[in-house]
A and B are shown apart, each in its own frame.
Chain A
């Protein structure tokens, strides 16, 4: 538990990056709701050839884990290739957090943002 709530994660949740609506997004997800009640919506802007992500914003309510995960995701997505992002998984997120293992019960929280982003990118 003490590993789980390390400072980096708490900081990311306290001051989440890129939270808010993006009116000129190229792709927008419908509200995605986890069975635990956590929810998010993502907005992604792409390059003209739709191969790279230039920016992401998000809205949502959730726990520290899902909030921090969305915040980190919004940082890491900038400039990434779409083809690369669709291959990301929980290990990608854990590497950003410097963690090797993660509570099974909280994986859904961790993956909420990434799953939502990947879903909208599949349709690009």
Chain B
């Protein structure tokens, strides 16, 4: 039985932070809190297993290598992928940079098009702008509807442009909360543009929904561990194995650990994909921590995690839409069969800047994010200077949303609006 109050007890931050159990943490889309099992796994690794991985003959190195491999396998299984398809990075941003350098630099040329959308996080825009500068390709943006969904007419039109080589799209928007029908879109991309590669940004979906790399027909899927109860400093990109085998994707970081043989004249890289893309000593402890987070989420059942998120999103939409000073951002009208909104509810407060709203909310213990949430083009598109975002995870309850609404009454009082 999924009970957020019991789950909350697994997260030591709620007893150890300076505000104690008064903390109402509604900023999980920025980073989630970590359960004790994740912290314990990291500590235990350093206490019992720490040694550098690979090529060490001694027992400890061997054990550490095993733990690294097992952790990679656990993380891959969580995404319904094979561990050979997983390239570990620090986070989603680094993963997208990796695809830009390791795939983009070798496969794009002047005149090619990189297609992304106006709802993307800066990481899924800036990397492509820089890649475009290096290769002479250009970046095109899929438009949005007024209610904050992807404009399917614009999507089809852009996908029909000549030489669209990459579609890079978020599964769930970090600001709008919009859940894109990603499988349908990938199918359309393949129909309209043969040979197109597709990157799915799963940073905001993986914490809340079951994500299957095997079932999605994507070439790249990127994620961050720290948003899904794991530690900071680990994330990754799943790459379709054919692209690794054909060398369409090449290493973008070089040095120790990724080589087969090195001479003064040159170097050959190892065939083993997991090693070819891991230059230098990896963050084994964080991989162990993320694997523990994946196991923790799997035990909660991702379908129940998703249902809990849906309950919170609908409750928040209901309560916040009753506050007259607010304008809610993102989809609010849903079909009878599907609510295409996940993880967060953002809004603007009429007459009060988002930072000031967040500052007052903080004074009553409610932690929300304010600003542009790394989606400046989206904010510009809709004419918002900044917005306030409340985002959820497994430890949140409807009482947290009630506390947010109560805090908004104080905003009204302080600013007299």
Query: Which one of A43-51, A59-67, A74-82, A88-96 is at the interface?
Result: A59-67
Expressed in whole angstroms, the Cα–Cα distance for A64 and B414 within the complex equals 12
Q: Which residues of chain B are within 8 angstroms of A10 by Cβ–Cβ distance?
A: 414-415
Which chain A residues numbered 27 to 56 have a C-beta less than 8 Å away from chain B? 36-38
Contact B414 A5 (CB under 8 A): yes
Q: Which of A3-19 contact B (CB under 8 A)?
A: 4-5, 10
Pick from B359, B371, B385, B386: contact of A1, CB below 8 A: B359
How many inter-chain contacts with C-beta < 8 Å in the A-B complex? 45
- Which residue from chain A places its CB closest to the CB of B371 in the assembled complex? A36
**Minimum CB distance partner of A62 in chain B:** B353
Chain B nearest CB from A38 CB (Å) reads 7
Q: Smallest CB–CB gap between B268 and chain A, Å?
A: 43
User: Are B363 and A37 closer than 8 Å at their CB atoms?
Assistant: no
Could you tell me the distance in whole angstroms from the C-beta of A104 to the nearest C-beta in chain B? 12
Contact (A38, B415) CB under 8 Å given A2-B363, A63-B354 = no
With A5-B414, A36-B371 in contact, is A63–B355 under 8 Å at CB? Answer: yes
Chain B residues with CB under 8 A of A4: 359
Q: Interface size for chain A: under 10, 10 to 19, 20 to 34, or 35 or more residues?
A: 10 to 19
B77 within 8 A of A: no
- Tell me if B372 is interfacial: C-beta within 8 Å of chain A: yes
CB interface residues, B 349-383, toward A, < 8 Å = 352-356, 359-360, 362-363, 370-372, 376, 379
Bound: A106/B370 CA distance, A? 12
Q: How far is the CB of A6 from chain B (nearest CB, A)?
A: 11
Contact between A5 and B359, CB atoms less than 8 A apart: yes
| Chief secondary structure at chain B's binding surface | helix
Tell me whether A109 is interfacial, beta carbon within 8 Å.
yes
Complex Cα distance, B211 from A106, in Å, reads 37
CA distance A61 to B372 in the complex (A): 14
Q: A37-B376, A37-B385, A38-B385 are in contact. Are A63 and B363 (CB under 8 A)?
A: no
Contact at B363–A64, with CB atoms within 8 Å? no
Interface residue A103 (Cβ < 8 Å from any Cβ of B): yes
Contacting pair B372 A1 (CB below 8 A): no
Contact with A along B317-355 (1 / 0, CB 8 A): 000000000000000000000000000000000001111
Residue of B nearest to A1 (CB): B363
Cβ–Cβ contact A37 & B415, under 8 A: no
User: What's the Cα separation between A65 and B355 when bound, in Å?
Assistant: 9
Could you write out 20 A-B pairs with CB less than 8 Å apart?
Answer: A1-B360, A1-B363, A2-B363, A5-B356, A5-B359, A5-B360, A10-B414, A10-B415, A36-B370, A36-B371, A36-B386, A37-B376, A38-B353, A38-B385, A62-B353, A63-B355, A63-B356, A65-B355, A106-B355, A109-B355
Nearest 6 A/B pairs, CB to CB:
A1-B363, A63-B353, A63-B355, A37-B386, A36-B371, A64-B356
